[in-house]
Structure 1
């Protein structure tokens, strides 16, 4: 029983650690949602000769004479670029079409005013989710060190299960609130940010993977607690049953002994008298 209980505790600790690593990585990265944004092409210049609008084919004339009306033969989607972007809880980063690299801005500033409260609740829930995962992980580790003391191990096991379940519920609520805020921001956010197409990224997958590992750890912990309690009750029942049978056997032996003694006493009395 001790070996099985230790194996279940190790499995719960491993799942909790995975959930903690996944949730922390998702919280600090910016790939919850990613896609493309439809933006106008910039004007061509000395440093920009591709993916730009060249009105007259004469760069010098464009720079020296600003009063001349310029024309471009590009129409429709040819006048636009589709730049890559990715967004997290804290920042939204976009491909810089005028230079190398990316430029980032706060996603909290991009969210509509009506959704900022929900977004902050999501952030607070994510922080509490990670904090409760840390508490649950610590209690599970303590349970491994107290494996020799079954009673203390059961107490730690119960508290670890409670904290892990609470953290999982908070994580689920936080992920759902962020998804709602992002979808509203797609429709009501700034014009220069609204995505042309988007999908969920690997950070979002890590976040829900963390939730899955967290709930698996809580189920494993509760299962370990339940099995240990059932095994103790079963052993106690067997012990009490054996004790009653032994007590009954001893009582029968005592009754038999006293009966024999009483019969001997009666026989001795009859002989005497």
Structure 2
């Protein structure tokens, strides 16, 4: 496994891309274990994810040689070591079901992440963090010092070398500046089936509309509230007898599962950005 890599790429579609990649790997003794590709006819872009073994040359040399291969195709690409878990920081407020689920899956070996820290604007989950031996940072939030608070949060994220920040029901709106700093590496779970019921209290909005399905959406964080590229969604069936509290309780399991799948796919480099959408190689 130490010689296993994941290559992800996107570029304008043209003939010969798959042949070029597979030929490049064959010439270097590479063995493709998994491959997926997608041609977006609307944008003319090509996306690909390849997992392969290569024992003849190391990662640095592979990257150098890939640069020569990919330049003529105008490719955006990344090469990752398969065995390297993704460093992750979780942010949470006072709803702990998603946090608890992620911690359990991580310790059970179900997620390819390394949870380095938990950041919260409340103290509620410091004991839960301690039970998993994860550093807990209480960073209170107030409107008067939001910039200072976010600076402290980013200091923790950067000091841990976090490649992924998960907003596991972190109920604060990030500033445009912080969204830009975390672009492409922050996932939020919204307790609604977006684009319906954006913003605050979506279960109240759903109950008021008498919905028959409630849902959850995991998406990348952008400056536009609840507008980021969607990674995963799911729903649960409800009916007219359900109160707001019933909807909230039913939604918790859906939220946890949707967020866990999004984190898993992102950490396995299965999610590629495609403008305001995503390509997900499951």
Higher strand share: 2
The structure having more radius of gyration, on CA atoms, is 1
TM-score normalised by length of structure 1: 0.21
Larger RCO: Structure 1 or Structure 2 (Cα < 8 Å, ≥ 6 residues apart)?
1
The structure that is helix-richer by fraction is: 1
